[in-house]
A and B are shown apart, each in its own frame.
Chain A
Amino acid sequence: MADELQVADRPAEKIIAPGYTFGTITDQISTVVLTTRTPVFWMAGFGLGLVLLLLFLLAAGVLLAKGTGIWGIRTPVMWGFAITNFVWWIGIGHAGTLISAILLLLNQRWRNSINRFAEAMTLFAVACAGMFPLLHLGRPWLFYWLMPYPNTMGIEPNFRSPLVWDVFAVSTYATVSLLFWYVGLMPDLATLRDRAGNKIARLIYAVGALGWRGSARHWSVYETASLLLAGIATPLVLSVHTVVSFDFTIAIVPGWHSTFFPPYFVAGAIYSGFAMVLALAIPLRSVYGLKGLITDKHLDNSAKVMLATGLIVGYAYILEAFTGWYSGNVYEHAVTVNRMTGPYALQYWTLVLCNIVAPNFLWIKKFRSTPWLLFVWSLIVLVGMWLERYVIIVSSLAQDNLVSSWRVFQGTRWDWATYLGTIGLFLFLFFLFIRLLPMISIFEVRTLLPQAKVEPGEDRR
């Protein structure tokens, strides 16, 4: 932009590449949405998502017609894939809230260019997570029985059950994430409204922007609202996975009944969530030429968070095995030995490889600065975290207190179809998002520019 001041004498904070102006940032991010040309990468990703989404609809349709018997769940393993996938997806969502809320409170300004799509990731991951408990109900059309409401049946939810706590925790989490995301979008929707060439697009963005005009009075309230929402979302995100872990710890199943599950689950959630952030950010920034905004610094920082939380998760595994031995409890001891040597030994040792061994490579700077390696590593972490939930849920249930009721669980093709289907739902929603809404928060990235700082004292007009 020739008509805009460039500040050359003060180097930008090393968060984004130098040379950007308010105008070029706005143009680069909004053009992805406002252009009429759709890249082949988008078509491919969206197409894959759509195909898998159709698979999900098929799997859900068969489930509604035939019942949950199409899945591999049999007594005593009644949770199987459904709850594994639920916990996996919810965990992935946590990184988005961590980035948008906790890093905001900690004044980590590098978050400004990744928070938008990370929050979108949270929303869509929670949507995918929600599918599983609903479908697992057996009669999903009666899901509203989970909520307390005046009814003629004379029944109410059991408020002393962690499963009901989970309903409240997850629905609150979904609502607050949506609100936080939408509030963040409002100023950027106004930008799209002012820049859209197409009349219909302008009308739709105008409705979404709710008449936002960037008034100083509004910005002042807006900043307060962002901080307060971040303050609210921070304990919320920590509580959600804590409550998810209560689903296990409150049950007296050996391998579940343990007090260190809440911190262990929260760390695991952030670990897998940052893996998903990296898995999304690395291809996106290459395809859309956004390496100046999502820089190697962002990948490096995310990898460090992944390393730190991965170490916590590794510590938890070691502690879990130690506790199994040290407790002197014959059932806890048996569960630990069964996990390591029983029918799920392969899954157990793979998860040890993915979650204890693999993250340690991130100590090496070369690893953290090589995007394709980080991409591969994030996929390894995602697989590892899925296996972790699988081993916790399935191995504990398959070999419980009573040997005569033991039964080995195997996922059926419908289990896999439903799981892959939700990955499709996620991709479908995510690709729609990057085509229709700005994937990077435009106004927050503007504040990263050196020229966004107000010079103290002297006028520079």
Chain B
Amino acid sequence: MSAPVHGLMAEFDNPTALVAAARAARGKGYRKLDAYSPFPIEELSGALDLHHNKLPLIVLAGGIVGGIAGYLLQYFVTVLYYPINVGGRPLHSWPAYIVITFETAILFAALAAVLGLMGLCGLPQPYHPVFNVPRFALASRNRFFLCIEAADPLFDAVGTAGFLRTLEPREVSEVEE
């Protein structure tokens, strides 16, 4: 093998086979692996131990920051920067701030959710080695792929390919870097 290799990829035609393959690969001790599917598969997250991510915390933080920012904006404008005395009513009229505080909390939380999603997934990512496999175009249609990456300490071009073949895939292909 002359070209540097990103990993080995096995192609399956149904989600059950992919989940079983992912479980088998994890069972074999492989850790640097990823699965590709045309729709989210809950069991796959379980098989690859992906259930925890930091997104809820990011969104919570976004919401809290947004709410505080919205409240302080109104406090600053109505109390400090541009106070208007209307018949002696209090300048710090917090009930009137509720709506905008709520809206900015929602806005920041939603922005945090989307930016957090992009950040945690490393998107936008114009290039990725898996796209070098011609059949990978079907990952967005009706095929399911499992990729064991060369970075895995157990990876060995011949042995890993042999292991993937025992999972009865439709095809095993090499992913060029």
Given contacts A211-B126, A454-B19, contact A239 B102 (CB under 8 A): yes
Q: Which single residue of chain A is at the shortest CB-CB distance from B93?
A: A160
Q: Which single residue of chain B is at the shortest CB-CB distance from A159?
A: B74
Given contacts A214-B36, A216-B34, A446-B38, contact A229 B110 (CB under 8 A): yes
Task: State whether B117 touches A183 (Cβ < 8 A).
Answer: yes
Task: State whether A159 touches B103 (Cβ < 8 A).
Answer: no
> Which residues 104-143 of B have a CB within 8 angstroms of A?
104, 106-107, 109-111, 113-114, 116-118, 120-121, 123-128, 130-131, 136-142
Cβ-based interface call for B39 (8 A): yes
Cβ-based interface call for A19 (8 A): no
Cβ-based interface call for A218 (8 A): yes
- The complex places the Cα of A370 from the Cα of B124 at a distance, in Å, of 45
Given contacts A194-B141, A221-B117, A246-B99, contact A148 B56 (CB under 8 A): no
- Give min CB distance, B70 to chain A, whole Å: 8
Cβ-based interface call for B7 (8 A): no
Task: State whether A232 touches B20 (Cβ < 8 A).
Answer: no
Give chain B residues whose Cβ lies under 8 Å from the Cβ of A225: 55, 113-114, 116-117
Q: Mark A231-250, 1 if CB is under 8 A from B, else 0.
A: 01101100100010010000
- The complex places the Cα of A223 from the Cα of B56 at a distance, in Å, of 11
Cβ-based interface call for A156 (8 A): yes
Which residue in B22, B36, B142 is a CB contact (below 8 Å) of A26? B142
Interface residues in B, total, Cβ within 8 A: 73
Given contacts A179-B114, A461-B17, contact A223 B142 (CB under 8 A): no
Given contacts A160-B93, A461-B20, contact A452 B15 (CB under 8 A): yes
Task: State whether A451 touches B14 (Cβ < 8 A).
Answer: yes
- Give min CB distance, A175 to chain B, whole Å: 6
Cβ-based interface call for B174 (8 A): no
Task: State whether A187 touches B140 (Cβ < 8 A).
Answer: yes
Residue among A23, A156, A169 with most chain B CB within 10 A: A156
Cβ-based interface call for A8 (8 A): no
Task: State whether B34 touches A168 (Cβ < 8 A).
Answer: no
Task: State whether A159 touches B100 (Cβ < 8 A).
Answer: yes
Give chain B residues whose Cβ lies under 8 Å from the Cβ of A179: 110-111, 113-114
Task: State whether B36 touches A228 (Cβ < 8 A).
Answer: no
Q: Which single residue of chain B is at the shortest CB-CB distance from A179?
A: B114
> Which residues 123-154 of A have a CB within 8 angstroms of B?
148, 154
Task: State whether B140 touches A160 (Cβ < 8 A).
Answer: no
- Give min CB distance, A16 to chain B, whole Å: 14
Given contacts A214-B38, A443-B39, A459-B16, contact A191 B100 (CB under 8 A): no
Task: State whether A221 touches B39 (Cβ < 8 A).
Answer: no
Task: State whether A215 touches B142 (Cβ < 8 A).
Answer: no
Give chain B residues whose Cβ lies under 8 Å from the Cβ of A412: none
Q: Which single residue of chain B is at the shortest CB-CB distance from A239?
A: B102
Task: State whether A446 touches B53 (Cβ < 8 A).
Answer: no
Given contacts A26-B141, A187-B140, contact A210 B39 (CB under 8 A): no
- Give min CB distance, B3 to chain A, whole Å: 20
Cβ-based interface call for B41 (8 A): yes
Which residue in A154, A172, A211 is a CB contact (below 8 Å) of B103? A172
